[in-house]
Amino acid sequence: MHLFQVGLGSGGMIVLDLLMREPMISRLTLVEPDHYESSNASRHLFQPSCHGKLKIDLAIEWLQQQRPDIQIDRFAVKLEDPEQHPELIDLARKCDLGICAVDSEIAKYHFDSLMRISQKPWLLGEVLSGGIGGWIHEFLIRNACYGCVASHLKRSIQTEKPVTPNYAQPEAGPIEVRIPATKTSISVIASLHAQLILQRLRQPEMNRGFTSMLFSLEAVPDIFNEPFRTFRFSIQRDPQCLICGDSNSDVLAGSDLDAALDEALQRLGHD
């Protein structure tokens, strides 16, 4: 099977490390433009001495030691780089499933468009600020898009106080969560992400009964009453949505990712 993964940070590497153990994985398309920083070593698989190297090269080195038989497509580029899109779309069409492990909102929208144009399922893992818990979202063909899920969850979570899924900016969170996520908490959420991916690969037609799952790791006043609880959401596509709604056939039919995405983001009011 062929997986297409964007994001090889501390969470993405754990997902990759778990999935590459499975003999059924034969090909990986990897996208990650960033360099490894030794300041991140406490949360990462790699040693501080790897400082300054491209994360994707460290990941490939790791993969080749464990699974030299896996075919790898290497993209040390931003997903948003239009020059790469024809090749990325071609590979996305050939893959079985997409994996998103990035923090950038714009990259999530781009990945959603890429997978939607290619008609492939994909799963997104997000660690909450401070590592107090995390989300796994699954996007199946013809189901709700990332925009629908993000806007729905902002509304429904508001009542419980907003939670910030960007643990890279802990200062953005409430005072209780102004501590960086530990490697342990990142690993728990990344392992759940990998588990859901494997289930989907083995059972492509399975109906889980939810599209998004929130898992608490800590009790945090006004956010989580207790640790180790799952909250499951079944988020439907909005028929009015300009990405996944009823009038999107022209977007889906096109192969120009930039045009499709620009149009969708403009209509969503997202810069």
- Note the residues at the interface with Zn ion (CB under 5 A): 145, 147-148, 241, 243-244
Q: Are 96 and 1 in contact (CB under 8 A)?
A: yes
Alpha-carbon gap, residue 186 to 127, rounded angstroms: 6
Residue 28 vs 148, nearer CB to Zn ion: 148
Return the number of other C-beta atoms located less than 10 Å from residue 148's C-beta.
Answer: 23
Instruction: For 152-218, give the secondary structure using H, E and C.
Output: HHHHHHHHHCCCCCCCCCHHHCCHHHCCCCCHHHHHHHHHHHHHHHHHHHHCCCCCCCCCEEEEECC
Residue 212 CB, shortest distance to Zn ion, in Å, is 13
Residue 95 vs 244, nearer CB to Zn ion: 244
Residue 237 CB, shortest distance to Zn ion, in Å, is 5
C-alpha angle 167/52/5, rounded to 5°? 55
Alpha-carbon gap, residue 46 to 42, rounded angstroms: 9
- Strands, sheet with 122-127, edge to edge from the N-terminal-most edge strand: 71-75, 27-31, 2-6, 97-100, 122-127, 133-139, 212-216, 230-233
User: What amino acid is encoded at 157 in this protein?
Assistant: I
Q: Name 126's bridge partners.
A: 135
Residue 125 vs 147, nearer CB to Zn ion: 147
Alpha-carbon gap, residue 9 to 103, rounded angstroms: 9
